[in-house]
Structure 1
Amino acid sequence: MQFLDQLHYFTVLDGVAVGLLLFTWIVAGFLIENPPKSRPSTSVLVAEYRRKWMVEMITRQPRIFDATILDSLRQGTAFFGSACLIAIGGGLAAMSNAERLKGIADDLTLSAPAVIWEMKILLALVLITNAFLKFIWSNRLFGYCGVVMASVPNDIENPVTRARADKAAELNIAAARAFNRGLRAVYFALGALGWLLGGAALIGATVVTVTILFRREFTSASREVLLRSEE
């Protein structure tokens, strides 16, 4: 009952801000992964190069270069996964000591019960937890990709060679997709921290986060490089 009595500290603006954050998180991910054919995202363009990579790998001898690149990709997923665990631990520690956070907020004239600050931190923790799960899954998929890559014969005439290379490419793309989803969750988790300053701040942080994501996926210099003609 005490928690219900404190819900009046959440305003309509807070509800709109949280809904906007979650809505844009889902919609932005969908648009980045399923862009119009006339304007592919950077992620989609790189996915095509992953397929070309697996084709080139067939005749490459030795395949040390391919193994090194794959290992660096797995290390990236492990690093971000570990960072997410640290962030989750820090968030839980902050929630367990919300009274201190409430004291700081009172000094900034942002007075509210400790449970309200816990709920605001929880939103960011949910997104970070989602990111952690995506990074772990990405790590496993890159591992599966490595196993399939090792099974690809060097003989281009072998009937199973191209089929296995295609399988490796799709596993590689799936791993990268999970990794990118994890990164987007981290971006939105950072944006969710804006809620500590109020609903208006959360809306502003959400707009900034979406702007950064779409700029990098649809208007970045790296995207222009990928689109350059190779003829």
Structure 2
Amino acid sequence: MTTLFTSVFPLLAYLAYNIIVPLIERARPSLSVIMNMQRRRWVANATRRESPFDAILSGNIMGSVSFLASTSVLLVLAVFAVFGQLTTLMEALESLSLERTYSVLDVQIHLGVMLAMFVLAFFAFTLSLRQFNHFCIMLGALDHDRVTTDEEIDAITQMNGLGARNFNSGIRAYYFSVSTVAWFVSEWLAVAVCLVTVLVLAHREFFSSAHRTAASAAVIAARLRQNPGAAVNRDRTDPPRGNL
């Protein structure tokens, strides 16, 4: 029973993390929430320009998502290949395991957990890719001959945010899958690595330097939006900075 718990624990932790973090974000904005503010600025600025700049940015994002989605397929196929090499795997585990010898059923169940993690990552990345594709279409459909309404900007931003949320979900599946590899060495090592992964992800989302930097940028942007003349006045009053 213990072996089954430690085997499934990374998958349960991954699912719980995706449920709990949005609840925490209601009280403390995460890095993802802060970046959603920048996404809205992106869309708002895109409504005022006609250039390939936004298409290039969107293409770069979709390229990264597509690469990770393809990698997920390869990992799924790799796990299926391991199912056909259980004898070789069991021989390797006898020399690798530090605590006990796993049974064939234990290994099969754990491979199923790993397969589930990579399948979830694949679906998350492909859904993200589809949503970013919708975002590109909505961005390209903007009519630059009229002023875009706030409701339309919010809708396009929300589509971008959905793509980013599913992309983050796929990345998290990769992170938590590291602990499934540690299980082959020690079942409790998998639990320890999983808990460390939760701490690392929580730090990156809520307490990292990237979070502070993005929050500072969002505050500056909000101030400039409330007082548009501040930037102009600053440019006029600041002395020129030449080489000394």
Query: Which TM-score tier does this pair reach, normalised by the shorter chain?
Result: 0.7 to 0.9
2:42 aligned residue: 53
1:80 aligned residue: 68
2:55 aligned residue: 67
1:22 aligns with 2:17: no
CA offset digits 1:76-106 (Å, max 9, x no partner)? 1100001111111111111110110100112
Deviation at 1:116, TM superposition (A): 2.3
Q: TM-score, normalised by structure 1?
A: 0.86
CA offset digits 1:135-191 (Å, max 9, x no partner)? 01111111111111111111343xx65443322111111111111111111111222
Where do 5+ consecutive residues of structure 2 fail to align?
A: 224-244
1:121 aligns with 2:136: no
2:189 aligned residue: 201
The one-letter amino acid paired with 2:174 is V
Q: Residues 148 and 164 of structure 1 are in contact (CA less than 8 Å); yes or no, is this contact kept in structure 2? A: no
RMSD across aligned C-alpha pairs, in angstroms? 1.9
Deviation at 1:61, TM superposition (A): 2.7
Q: Residues 182 and 190 of structure 2 are in contact (CA less than 8 Å); yes or no, is this contact kept in structure 1? A: yes
- Which structure has the bigger radius of gyration? 2
1:3 aligned residue: none
2:21 aligned residue: 32
1:132 aligned residue: 122
Choose which of 145, 156, 165 in structure 2 pairs with 1:177: 165
Choose which of 209, 218, 227 in structure 2 pairs with 1:221: 209
Percent identity over paired residues? 22
SS in 1 for 2:91: helix
The one-letter amino acid paired with 2:130 is R
The one-letter amino acid paired with 1:190 is V
Q: Residues 148 and 167 of structure 1 are in contact (CA less than 8 Å); yes or no, is this contact kept in structure 2? A: no
Alignment CA distance shift 1:113-1:26 (3 Å): closer
Choose which of 107, 129, 134 in structure 1 pairs with 2:95: 107
Q: TM-score, normalised by structure 2?
A: 0.82
Pairing of 1:134-173 with structure 2 (within 5 A)? 134-157=124-147, 161-173=149-161
The one-letter amino acid paired with 1:173 is G
Deviation at 1:15, TM superposition (A): 3.6
Q: Residues 134 and 178 of structure 1 are in contact (CA less than 8 Å); yes or no, is this contact kept in structure 2? A: yes
Aligned equivalents of 2:149, 2:29: Cα separation in 1: 29
Alignment CA distance shift 1:87-1:14 (3 Å): same
Q: Residues 149 and 164 of structure 1 are in contact (CA less than 8 Å); yes or no, is this contact kept in structure 2? A: no
Aligned equivalents of 2:87, 2:8: Cα separation in 1: 27
Aligned equivalents of 1:175, 1:14: Cα separation in 2: 36
Where do 5+ consecutive residues of structure 1 fail to align?
A: 1-11
SS in 2 for 1:34: helix
Aligned equivalents of 1:27, 1:105: Cα separation in 2: 30
